[in-house]
Structure 1
Amino acid sequence: MAVDDGLGFLLNGIEDFQARHGADWRDKFVDFYLGDRMATGLDEACALPTLTADVARADDETRHAYAEGLTEIVDKIANGPGQRMSRDQVWALVAVLSGAAGMARAVTDPTLREEVLAAAAQAAKAI
């Protein structure tokens, strides 16, 4: 299922950053997610921003798989190395990253795109 694959890819990326960067993983992941990853084509981009709208219109089985995948991601972040985050903080972080990525990919003005990404990175790191 595309939902499982897409969210699994994100989970694997989070696990990789946690393993490679330890306590400093979160800020490095934010910089990567809203920086280098934004330069990739949609076929290689994180599926979360693009899947969300489609899943909202999908059947219950797909929506359940999406919720399970998101919950696994939130748990991985909340229990990761470094400063502990509450589940509320993690949900906010995931929402900021996903929303900013979707908006930045939707605009054509590079200045506006960079403004969105910079503001989101600052907000994500402050959570």
Structure 2
Amino acid sequence: MRYHAEHKQEAKTKLLEAAGRGFRRLGYGGIGVDGLAKEAGVTSGAFYGHFKSKDAAFEAAALAGLDDLRTGTASLQQQMGARWAEAFIAFYLGERLHCILDSSCGLQSLTPDVTRASEETKAAYGTALERVAQQIAKGLQGSTDEARLQKAWSLMAILSGGVTMARSVGSREARDAIAAHLKQAALALL
């Protein structure tokens, strides 16, 4: 049976979303092709019909995670105007800190595995990361484009690194204390 192009794209999107959840939850080394296929509710053969390898699926999932962050930031900037950054910080240190790992931000949860990925994946990820930083910089104050970009990189590092550290402690009280300190630092940066 032949599937139409729309069906194939829907299947690939479903598989990509499932791969993103699996890689966020278990890490690159913690899930294989069979696990990724199971996460998507397809066979391993169907997986290989869309991705040539686990590496290719990981790269696609990592890039999709950054694209979600970029488009979400642009949407928040449009909706909230000048107050977008405060809302972004609150969201990142609230919902993104406390959500299940499957739903976490790709920047926070997938970057550690990108550091061990192929040079091609790192290059593609770097390009996508630059687009995220540029989007964030568009909404920040600063006397020059370079000053806004510096703030954007700093804000991304504070939030993603901070959430990573906060997620690594067992106590909800410690996690919330870390988030409170990070919020102060992020707001001061603005």
Which residue type is aligned with residue 99 of structure 2? T
Structure 1: stretches of 5+ with no match in the other structure: none
Aligned to 2:30: none
Aligned to 2:160: 98
Residue 113, structure 1, aligned to residue 171, structure 2? no
Aligned residues: 126
Residue 30, structure 1, aligned to residue 89, structure 2? yes
In the alignment, is the contact (CA less than 8 A) between 2:89 and 2:186 conserved in 1?
yes
Aligned to 2:125: 66
User: Which residue of 99, 102, 113 maps to 1:43?
Assistant: 102
Following TM superposition, the consecutive aligned residue runs of length 4 or more in structure 1 with deviations greater than 4 angstroms are none
Which residue type is aligned with residue 59 of structure 1? S
- Secondary structure (helix, strand or coil) at the match of 1:43 reads helix
CA shift digits 1:66-114 (9 cap, x unpaired): 111110011111112x624522111111000001111111111111101
Aligned to 1:83: 141
So what's the TM-score if we normalise by structure 1?
Answer: 0.93
Aligned to 1:125: 187
- Secondary structure (helix, strand or coil) at the match of 1:58 reads coil
Aligned to 2:39: none
Larger Rg: 2
CA distance in 1, matches of 2:170, 2:152: 29
Larger deviation, residues 45-54 vs 91-100: 45-54
Residue 3, structure 1, aligned to residue 49, structure 2? no
Which residue type is aligned with residue 159 of structure 2? L
Report the RMSD for the aligned CA atoms in angstroms: 1.2
CA distance in 2, matches of 1:70, 1:44: 19
So what's the TM-score if we normalise by structure 2?
Answer: 0.63
In the alignment, is the contact (CA less than 8 A) between 2:65 and 2:105 conserved in 1?
yes
CA distance in 2, matches of 1:55, 1:37: 20
CA shift digits 1:35-67 (9 cap, x unpaired): 122221111110111211111110011101111
Shift of 1:116: 0.8
- Secondary structure (helix, strand or coil) at the match of 2:101 reads coil
CA distance in 2, matches of 1:54, 1:123: 26
CA distance in 2, matches of 1:54, 1:15: 26
CA distance in 1, matches of 2:141, 2:81: 10
In the alignment, is the contact (CA less than 8 A) between 1:49 and 1:101 conserved in 2?
yes
In the alignment, is the contact (CA less than 8 A) between 2:97 and 2:104 conserved in 1?
yes
